[in-house]
Amino acid sequence: MWLKIIIVVLFLAILASLSSALVFLLKDMGSQSRRTLYALGIRITLAALLMLSIFYGIYTGQLGSQAPWDRGPATNSAPDTTEPDAVNQEYK
């Protein structure tokens, strides 16, 4: 649960950094200010952290698909009685 919250917070921080970079770009047009560059650098760092947290979640199994078609073929819990057991036939 905490990982999903971290991912959402990182995504919102990326959006905030991107919007602040746009504001700095429009305000500092023609000047030598590097605020836009710093804001975009922060966005890249946040995006890398977001990707790392997603990869960590998938690796640990905290994130993953719960869709029924991703589970694989369904198996019956009852044993198959149409064919004789190979172990029993070996001793007969």
Per-residue pLDDT tens digits for 58-83: 999 898 877 777 777 766 666 556 66
The model carries a pTM of: 0.69
CA angle 62, 65, 70 (to 5 degrees): 135
- Whether residue 21 is predicted with pLDDT greater than 70 in this model: the reply is yes
Domain boundaries, the chain: 2-25+32-64
pLDDT value of position 11? 97
pLDDT at 88 over 90: no
Residues 6+ apart with CB under 8 A from 10: 46, 49, 50, 53
